[in-house]
Each structure stands twice: as C-alpha cells, then as structure tokens.
C-alpha cells in the first residue's frame, strides 16, 4: 500500500501542463487539494511550484509534501515529467525540507504586511533615485547607509535564483545560512553582501522613504512604499518537497557554482 493514498493534482494553466494533467487524470483517484490530501502532485514550472507552496502556507497545510513534475522552462524545483510509473517514483522519493522566510513589511502609511518567502525577500527602488537603506542584524546596526538599487535576503533554496543574478553566493541546502546581497550597490561600492546564520533577525530601514520610495517583494507578493522590513526564518511552517532519488536537489545547488 502506498504511503500516499490521498493524492491531489494541481496544474499550471499553461497548455503543456493542462495536457499532462489530462493524461494522468484518469490513472488515479485524485482528491481535492482542500480535502486533506497526503500528497500534492504539481505540474508546471518553478513559478507554479512557488505558487502551490504559498497556497499551502495560506491554507495552513505546510506539512503536506509536494512532488512536482516539470512542464515549465527551467524546473529547478521539479522532477522530470513522465506519465507512467508515478506509484514507484513516489515510493522511492527523497524528501527535502525547505524553511521559508517570514517578511514583516511596514509601509509609510503605518500598515503592516506579513508574508512568507521561499526563495527571497527583496527591496527595490521605485524611482530613478537610488534607495538609501540602513541594515541591522539582531537589532545591531551593521550598515548605517547603503546606497543601491535594492537588497535581498535569500534562503539556500532560493540562492540560485534572483540572488545569484545579483552576484550573491550560492548556499548549500542544510548550510544553516542566509545570503544578504546588495543589488547594484553604489555606496559602499565594494560591498558584496554577507552570509549570515539563519537564526539571524535582519532589519532593513528605508532612509528618506518619502523622497526615495522602495518596494518589498516576498517571492511574488509586493508591498510598495515601505519604511521598514523585518526578516527571519519561519521554522513553524517548514515545507517538504519530494524528488526522485537520482535528482539530488542539494547536489544540483552545489554544482551551480561550477557553471560558467
């Protein structure tokens, strides 16, 4: 008997994912994602996987594992799409636990927004003027003023995404670290960021928030005109991704360091 008797199927609205979903829809008895599944099978790309994981967090079901199959472009967080052999693949699947970030963004208007981020929390200037940011770690000011296009905090799972494009470090899974990376720093020009313990509490205050507006983005959720953003790990809402044994997510993240 499979350890995942109650399976839910979700698919991206793209034609490729919808076609794949139709191909396997009659092969198993699927339940609704809202009907307490033991497992969710997600068909799509990395963006759809992030959307699926965020939906689970919003519905307070982070413990349900997700097995993704790639019908997108890159598919870094996905397994290979195959129509047949799903039962055997799920029996042999290897779990990886991903811990999201918690972002608390306070706007100029005083409103507070809380969101989770699986890849990264990023702050970005909204106008042609550079952003001026003050950075604290565990309530200690470590960067009194950073003039830049923005800054981001990335998890190990997200360190090969936007963080890598911003010249940030790749963090191995299980490293217990976070990447704090500036985006196009102007002053201090030579600062390339920091690697911090994942227990750290990171605060980013926007200096001259009215004159130099900044937005904050937690994966796909944006808050505009922020004055303070606080970031930490949210261990109460850990997520589990399932991968084929031959697809070692941790090894793939490590090998990204050797790709030219």
Please enumerate, by residue number, every residue annotated as part of a binding site for NAD(+).
Answer: 46-47, 119-120, 149, 157, 160-165
Phi then psi for residue 53, to 5 deg, are -65, -40
Tell me the CB-side half-sphere exposure of residue 5, using CA atoms within 13 A.
Answer: 1
CB-CB contact of 149 with 130 (8 Å): yes
Is position 219 annotated as part of the catalytic site? no
Length of the chain (residues) = 260
CB-CB contact of 193 with 159 (8 Å): no
Burial class (CB in 10 A: 0-12, 13-18, 19+), 126: middle
Phi then psi for residue 206, to 5 deg, are -90, 115
DSSP β-ladder status, 30-31 and 221-223 = unpaired
Annotated binding residues, written as ranges, equal: 46-47, 119-120, 149, 157, 160-165
Catalytic site residue from 29, 46, 250, 251: 46
Just list the catalytic residues: 46
């Amino acid at each position: 008997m499979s350890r995942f008797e109650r399976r839910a199927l979700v698919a991206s609205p793209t034609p490729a994912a919808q076609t794949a979903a139709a191909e396997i829809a009659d092969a198993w008895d699927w339940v609704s994602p809202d009907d307490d599944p033991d497992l969710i099978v997600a068909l799509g790309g990395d963006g759809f996987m992030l959307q699926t994981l965020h939906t689970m967090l919003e519905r307070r079901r982070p413990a349900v594992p997700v097995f993704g199959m790639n019908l997108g472009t890159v598919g870094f967080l996905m397994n290979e799409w195959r129509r047949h052999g799903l039962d055997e693949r799920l029996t042999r699947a290897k779990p990886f636990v991903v811990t999201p970030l918690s972002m608390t963004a306070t706007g100029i208007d005083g409103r507070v927004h809380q969101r989770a981020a699986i890849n990264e929390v990023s702050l970005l200037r909204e106008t042609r003027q550079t952003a001026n940011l003050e950075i604290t770690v565990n309530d200690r000011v470590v960067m009194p003023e950073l003039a830049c296009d923005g800054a981001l905090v990335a998890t190990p799972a997200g360190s090969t995404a936007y963080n890598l494009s911003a010249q940030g470090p790749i963090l191995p899974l299980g490293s217990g670290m976070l990447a704090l990376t500036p985006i196009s720093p102007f002053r201090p020009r030579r600062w390339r960021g920091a690697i911090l313990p994942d227990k750290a509490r990171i605060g980013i205050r926007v200096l001259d928030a009215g004159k130099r507006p900044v937005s904050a983005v937690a994966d796909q959720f944006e808050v505009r005109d922020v004055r303070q953003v606080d970031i930490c790990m949210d261990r109460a809402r850990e997520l589990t991704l399932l991968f084929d044994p031959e697809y070692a997510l941790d090894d793939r993240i490590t090998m990204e360091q050797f790709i030219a």
